[in-house]
Amino acid sequence: MHEPLTAAEYKAIAKTIELPTNAFVDGSFRPANSGKTFTTTNPATGEVLAEVAACDASDVDFAVAKAKAAFDDGRWHLQSPGERKGVLLKFAKLLEDNRHELAVMESLDSGKPVRECQTVDVADTIHTIRWHAELIDKLYDNTAPVGSKALTMVVREPIGVVGAVLPWNFPLLMLAWKIGPALASGCSIVVKPAQETTLTALRVAELAHEAGIPAGVFNVLTGSGKDVGEPIGLHMDVDMVTFTGSTPTGRRFLRYAADSNLKRVVLECGGKNPAVVLEDAEDLDLVAEQVVTGAFWNMGENCSATSRLIVHSSIKDELLERIGAYMRDWKTGDPLDPENRIGALVSKAHFDKVTSYLDDVKKEKLSLAHGGETQKGVYVEPTVVDGVTPASRLFQEEIFGPILSVTTFNSLAEAVTLANDTPYGLTASVYTGSLRKAIKLSREIRAGVVTVNCFGEGDATTPFGGYKESGFGGRDKSIFAHDQYTELKTIWIDVSERSVDETVR
């Protein structure tokens, strides 16, 4: 089903594909109130893809009013759970029918390799929507143990209007992680995709409407963080913001909430994720393969990217050699060719940021174990930098590019200290043949996801989010994500004998 097509087939789709350019509000596409647009480009070629509506605070007011009206009259959340499940399953089917077009649109807009777009981004997006749809008629509320004199119901109700502000690194998948549980819970949503990658969110909203999600329930506003993200954060009729992006922008949403209506805020932010390899790791080839995937998948433009290899000094050289061998399979080039696993970085500005860390390698006189080259001002070769210390920017800062730093340790305690020595706490991987050590490290590393003898983010059934400055207020994915999009209500009913007698009299 999600097997990639050939390069020729993808290129043919790219030639004929129709790109959405207007915001999607209240069931139809509309230009920005101001009539303004911004240019969106293909980062791999520099080619202009489209002029997209540049919305502002007046469009936010309009979309939030439509989302609120849809919520207040209950056109979505008051449908039966079975009906809503049916609509979301149809939505997932329409995404599946359009999977090749969505993969190409995602690749053109972001520079991501089309193979990954097809087999990961689009495939997981469909799975996410289906998973949350299936949950709708399987969630039960609670009663509380208050004795025979009262009946208490502890019920979940949809929180209302949700603003979702998204990053550019997984445009479709981050959208799905938000809208899956938000729509399943019965909320209305106003989505702001990142300006670099707006196209697939618009097409997804159109398909959701076609599937039967009522007008006003799922809206997408295109435009900048300042013009659209900030007014969403400050809006008095937005009940919650769910945000994925960098930690500095995430902080702003806490301020927006404090300065407006104390809306709920859930933040999924940056990471600086370690892979800790102990000297008793059982299979160094497996470790090398997993570390390479963790570090270079999606060009390292991944919040959960393995960006720090923390390895026992006795096995470092051998592991780096094997890492080099696995890196040979990671071809860099045209994102529309499914042979390539490394595509373009998302923009020239981001390319400049990532390559500034390559300049640090020279300045700090660090040694390049592998890679270090760039091509055409858009591609950065997978790079491994040896001898990085905790004082270095390479150790502390989220690079969000294909650069892996290497640091050694000599004791388990030192490994834990190094792993925890950044402001982030999103994910970590641990490689060891000892179950006891694996459990000890899993407990002592402060991160929202710890994988043992593998790299990954879990699947739709497991929560995802970070400790420390990697997150705030909740988790994406899994049944736990639903809690965020709901309020908890207590309903207390007096059923004491006195009240029965009074009723009878």
Interactions with Mg ion, residue window 160-219 (CB under 5 A): 196
- Per CB under 6 A, the segment of 23-31, 150-158, 267-275, 326-334 that binds ligand NAP is 267-275
> Nearest CA to 101 among 195, 15, 178?
15
Residue 149 touches which of Mg ion, ligand NAP, none (CB < 5 to 8 A by kind)? none
- The yes or no reply on residue 122 touching ligand NAP (CB under 6 A) is no
CB proximity list for 294: less than 8 A, separation 6 or greater = 273, 275, 304, 305, 306, 429, 455
Give the x-and-dash track for 144-173 against ligand NAP (CB under 6 A): ---------------------xxxxxx---
Chain centroid to CA 429: how far? 19
| Least distance between ligand NAP and beta carbon 352 (Å) | 14
**CB 244: neighbour CB atoms within 10 A?**
26
Q: Please identify which of the residues 55, 117, 269, 303 carries the catalytic annotation.
A: 303
Choices 262-270, 306-314, 354-362, 478-486 (CB under 6 A): range interacting with ligand NAP: 262-270
Query: Which listed range, 59-67, 106-114, 266-274, 477-485, lies at the site for ligand NAP (CB under 6 A)?
Result: 266-274
Identify what 233 binds: ligand NAP, Mg ion, none; CB under 5 to 8 Å per kind: ligand NAP
268 is catalytic: yes
Exposed / middle / buried, residue 311 (Cβ in 10 Å: 0-12, 13-18, 19+):
buried
Q: Which is closer to ligand NAP, CB of 319 or CB of 403?
A: 403
Look at residues 299, 495, 505, 477 and name the one whose alpha carbon lies nearest to residue 404. Answer: 299
Binding to Mg ion in span 18-47, by CB under 5 A: 40
User: Is 457 in the active site?
Assistant: no
From the CB of 404, what's the least distance to Mg ion, in Å? 26
Helix (H) or strand (E) holding 487: strand 486-494
Closest distance to ligand NAP from the beta carbon of 208 (Å): 20
Is 106 a binder of Mg ion (CB under 5 A)? no
Q: Does 224 bind ligand NAP (CB under 6 A)?
A: yes
Given 252, 348, 393, 446, the residue binding ligand NAP (CB under 6 A): 252
- Candidate residues 160, 163, 216, 229; the one interacting with ligand NAP per rule CB under 6 A: 229
Among 107, 128, 195, 429, binds ligand NAP (CB under 6 A): 195
d(CA 201, CA 342): 23
Q: Which of residues 243-272 bind Mg ion (CB under 5 A)?
A: none
Q: Is 361 buried (19+), middle (13-18) or exposed (0-12) by CB count in 10 A? A: buried
Residue 194 is a binding residue for ligand NAP (CB under 6 A): yes
Residue 38: helix, strand or coil by DSSP?
Answer: strand
Among positions 26, 109, 116, 381, the unique one binding Mg ion when judged by CB under 5 A: 109
| CA distances, 285 to each of 74, 83, 230, 408, 433 (Å) | 55, 49, 47, 19, 14
473 binds ligand NAP (CB under 6 A): no
Q: Map the footprint of ligand NAP across residues 274-333, applying CB under 6 A.
A: 303
How many whole angstroms separate alpha carbon 258 and alpha carbon 81?
34
User: What's the closest the beta carbon of residue 109 comes to Mg ion, in angstroms?
Assistant: 4
Q: Which tokens go with 357? A: 């860390």
- Catalytic member of 196, 206, 268, 289: 268
| 505 vs 499: CA distance, rounded Å | 10
3-state per-residue secondary structure call for 82-149: HHHHHHHHHHHHHHHHCHHHHHHHHHHHHCCCHHHHHHHHHHHHHHHHHHHHHHHHHCCCEECCCCCC
Which stretch, 54-62, 105-113, 227-235, 448-456, contacts Mg ion (CB under 5 A)? 105-113
Residue with smaller CB distance to Mg ion, 68 or 112: 112
Does position 190 interact with ligand NAP (CB under 6 A)? The reply is no
Helices 7-16 and 99-110: angle between axes, nearest 10 degrees: 80
Structure tokens at 76: 């979505």
Report the SS3 class of residue 72. helix
Instruction: Name the nearest CA neighbour of 385 among 354, 426, 412.
Output: 354
DSSP 8-state assignment for residue 297: G
Q: Which does 371 bind (CB under 5 to 8 A by kind): Mg ion, ligand NAP, none?
A: none
230-249 binders of ligand NAP (CB under 6 A):
230, 233, 244-246, 249
Torsion over CA of 20, 26, 30 and 31, rounded to 10 degrees? -110
Q: Which residues bind ligand NAP (CB under 6 A)?
A: 165-170, 174, 192, 194-195, 224-226, 229-230, 233, 244-246, 249, 252, 268-271, 303, 398, 400, 426, 466, 470-471
Kindly list the catalytic residues. 268, 303
